[in-house]
Amino acid sequence: DAAINRIAAGEVLERPASAVKELIENSVDAGATRIEVVIADGGKTLIRVTDNGCGMTGADLPLALSRHATSKIDGSDLLNIRSFGFRGEALPSLGATGRLTITSRAKGADAAMIAVAGGKTEGVKPAALSAGTVIELRDLFYATPARLKFLRTDRAEAQAVTDVVKRLAMAEPFITFILRDASNGDNRTVFRADAETGDLFDALHGRLQVVLGKDFAENALRIDTQRDGFHLTGYAALPTYSRGAAVAQFLFVNGRPVRDKMLLGALRAAYMDVLSRDRHPVAALFVDCDPTLVDVNVHPAKSEVRFRDPGTVRGLIVSGLRHALADAGH
Ligand code: ADP
Ligand code: MG
């Protein structure tokens, strides 16, 4: 019910950027190749995510809004997770804390829409949409004023949204991402990354240029190594392209962006001998493994993971990067 949804919302949704993350992940899961995000006032008054994914039928819409109803997992299989979503919590939580409208059209079906505000759902109505899904969230946290108070300035929240979009764009180089800011009636493009082509390494390299800059991409070492069922791929910068802050470290586990202490520590350890303490390595690294070797279900915001054998993963990162650095003369 509404109260439970609001409590759970507190775990999943800390700020507008967490809502944007959940919505983009849903679009990726829906097979979208183009995802456009519009925010206003740091996402506090408006978040709109438009995708060209598989869409939902009118009958799907109430289900999408009911707690723990996910189309992505049957419940018996929580460790074997490949898609981003698996809790069925995001949309009910968003509907409990803001004014949420979902408009969607599945192939071969008519477009339909549903609205929910403060946890109260209205009936499904016909709508006009050619394909895909538009999810609009207005006035996030209006129903939970205590949370609203903890939000930072519009500028800081907008920055956090930009970071999230860039992280997910880094993870999905074959998808076009667009972020616009519609504050004050404006329509400013904040970030745009057009779908890359070629093989995964070409695509990643192209996306790196867009997200981190040409200089970095041209001086990044290609990483491609594996050990005991773990595959490490991506790019790591030469020490000369390090940064004064840890802002350009993109780590992904089975395609999911993570901020995991063990992985960040391994990255740091790999550069220990070639970077001074006040510098931070720049890297975009993907760890892929069988889903049973990693538990991504540790934290509701899903940014921490637990490997069954963290030592192997750490060793793979440290030795993989050190070899690449050594080959490059460092
Ligand atoms: P989860 O992603 O964990 O399944 P959500 O609450 O995020 O839970 O979404 C609930 C359901 O709504 C999804 O399982 C999916 O079936 C549907 N859904 C959400 N967003 C989209 C979208 N952009 N396109 C198509 N279906 C979607
Ligand atoms: Mg989801």
Report the nearest atom of ligand 1 relative to the CA of 90.
6
pLDDT at 107: 96
Residue 260 DSSP class: -
Q: Are 253 and 261 in contact (CB under 8 A)?
A: no
- What is the mean predicted confidence (pLDDT) over 275-283? 92
pLDDT band at 81 (very low <50, low <70, confident <90, very high): very low
CA of 89 to the centre of ligand 1 (A): 9
Percent of the residues in the chain that have a pLDDT greater than 70, as a whole number: 88
- What is the mean predicted confidence (pLDDT) over 34-63? 97
- What is the mean predicted confidence (pLDDT) over 80-106? 78
pLDDT in tens, 64-78: 998 665 666 554 444
Sign of CA dihedral 280, 281, 286, 288: negative
pLDDT in tens, 296-312: 766 656 678 899 999 99
- What is the mean predicted confidence (pLDDT) over 264-269? 96
Q: Are 105 and 62 in contact (CB under 8 A)?
A: no
Counting every residue written for the chain, the total comes to: 330
Task: Spell out the domain ranges in the chain.
Answer: 2-193, 211-327
pLDDT at 295: 86
Say yes or no to pLDDT of 168 above 90: yes
Q: Which of 12, 18, 26 to mutate to test the pocket of ligand 1 (most atoms within 8 A of CB)?
A: 26
Say yes or no to pLDDT of 228 above 90: yes
Say yes or no to pLDDT of 79 above 50: no
pLDDT at 14: 83
Say yes or no to pLDDT of 43 above 90: yes
CA of 90 to the centre of ligand 1 (A): 8
Q: When comparing pLDDT for 86 and 296, which is higher?
A: 296
Pocket of ligand 1 (CB under 6 A): 22, 26-27, 30, 51, 53-56, 64, 70-72, 85-91, 133
Task: Name the CATH superfamily for 2-193.
Answer: Histidine kinase-like ATPase, C-terminal domain (3.30.565.10)
Say yes or no to pLDDT of 227 above 90: yes
In this structure, which residue's CA is closest to atom 15 in ligand 1? 71
Q: Which of 70, 86, 104 to mutate to test the pocket of ligand 1 (most atoms within 8 A of CB)?
A: 70
Q: What is the CATH number of domain 211-327?
A: 3.30.230.10
Q: Are 115 and 25 in contact (CB under 8 A)?
A: no
Q: CA–CA separation, 295 vs 77, rounded Å?
A: 12
Say yes or no to pLDDT of 183 above 60: yes
Say yes or no to pLDDT of 8 above 60: no
Nearest ligand by distance to the CA of 89: 1
Unique residue bearing structure tokens 């006035």: 139
pLDDT at 245: 81
